[in-house]
Structure 1
Amino acid sequence: MPNYLSEGRRSIFLFKIPNPFKFLGDKQRAIGVYAAGAFFAIGWWAFIDAITLASRDPFKQVSIGFEDWISGILTTLGMIVINLIDKSSLHGDTFSYSGDSLVWKARLFLFVGFALIAGGLAGSVCVLILKYIVPEVPESELYYGIGQVAQCGFIMLSTVILWIAQNTQEEYQYNFML
């Protein structure tokens, strides 16, 4: 079995994918950041819209509680954690748990960020199923649960777009490392 790290390679899984923002020209990074912000705002707007509709309905069967808010908060925290990581600190040859290696710490925080996003999305789907679908609430109240899932989905999409936009290195390629 060849030792890839001793041969001078940085990682076993390094794929070069064409830059998805190439057609945007010189402003590709700025447009990607604005698009990510728009998707983030649309996600929170969908949730706040559902909450305001729920507060105006005096005959609703389901009350809005903390369990409705927690999935969006977790997903937003995951987005913040992921996009605060310096992308250059993820690339490194050493993966030691001792010493001052920054690579494993950055990868750990990246994992925590993705876990927060996945947990938020899974939580919103669970709340939708357990609180709105299983008790068979009316369709007018089903929108409250769908708004939560849409919120987490849009925030997740925003995270991916912002990650790609910030990592755009050259005009013709995007390096994707697993």
Structure 2
Amino acid sequence: MSGILDNFQCPSCECCELGEKRNLVASIAAGALFFTGWWIIIDAAAFYDATEMDHAVHACGAVGTVAFFMINSISNGHIRGDTYNEGCFGTLAGRIWLLNGFLLGFGALISSMWILFGVYVVPGAANPYPGIAVFLQNALIFFATMLFKFGRTEDLWD
């Protein structure tokens, strides 16, 4: 079964070809997602008091933000070994850094799901919106991280 999709090519659409504006569009879209995620949680924190929304739930968003910066601080060339690969911060250290960033990002997303269902949905809270806000914040930060990492191309930097 290997090679079943080797000759498959996606049809190209000329209206979706971004060319040199790919990095610009990916950066703006990722920034908008990141901003929207933080805006949702700030809105929920301003509207609900500490009895309805515990302040500890903000740790998920902070960890997701740290993961955003960790994942996007390493270039793809560094991971492949195309650029700087000597010394103590060579390719292996970059890959470990990227793995830790992904672990933090997935951990923040999973813990926000845990908060949503474990604190607000299953016990039957009167208003589950604070849990939904925590989950939406972390989901949007995670999608912004993936879009900013994989939506841009480094070919235009040369």
TM-score range, shorter-chain basis? 0.7 to 0.9
Residue in 2 that maps onto 1:24: 18
Residue in 1 that maps onto 2:118: 130
Structure 2 unaligned spans of 5+: 1-8
Distance 2:101 2:55 in 1: 21
What is the TM-score when the length of structure 2 is the normalising length? Answer: 0.79
Amino acid at match of 1:45: W
Distance 1:168 1:151 in 2: 28
- Does residue 120 of structure 1 match 2:108? yes
The number of equivalent residue pairs is 143
Q: What's the % identity of the aligned pairs?
A: 28
Q: Post-superposition shift, 1:50?
A: 1.4
- Correspondent of 2:138 among 149, 152, 167: 152
Q: Post-superposition shift, 1:153?
A: 0.6
Residue in 1 that maps onto 2:129: 143
Structure ID, larger Rg:
1
- Provide Cα deviations, 1:69-95, integer angstroms capped at 9, x if missing partner: 0111111100010011132110139xx
Structure 1 unaligned spans of 5+: 1-16, 94-98, 171-178
- Provide Cα deviations, 1:51-80, integer angstroms capped at 9, x if missing partner: 12213xxxx9x4322321011111110001
- Which structure dedicates a bigger proportion of its chain to strand? 1
- Does residue 50 of structure 1 match 2:38? no
> RMSD between aligned alpha carbons?
2.8
The 3-state SS of whatever aligns with 1:166 is coil
Residue in 2 that maps onto 1:14: none
- Correspondent of 2:151 among 139, 154, 165: 165
Distance 2:104 2:54 in 1: 20
Amino acid at match of 1:130: G
Residue in 1 that maps onto 2:76: 87
Amino acid at match of 1:51: A
Amino acid at match of 2:65: T
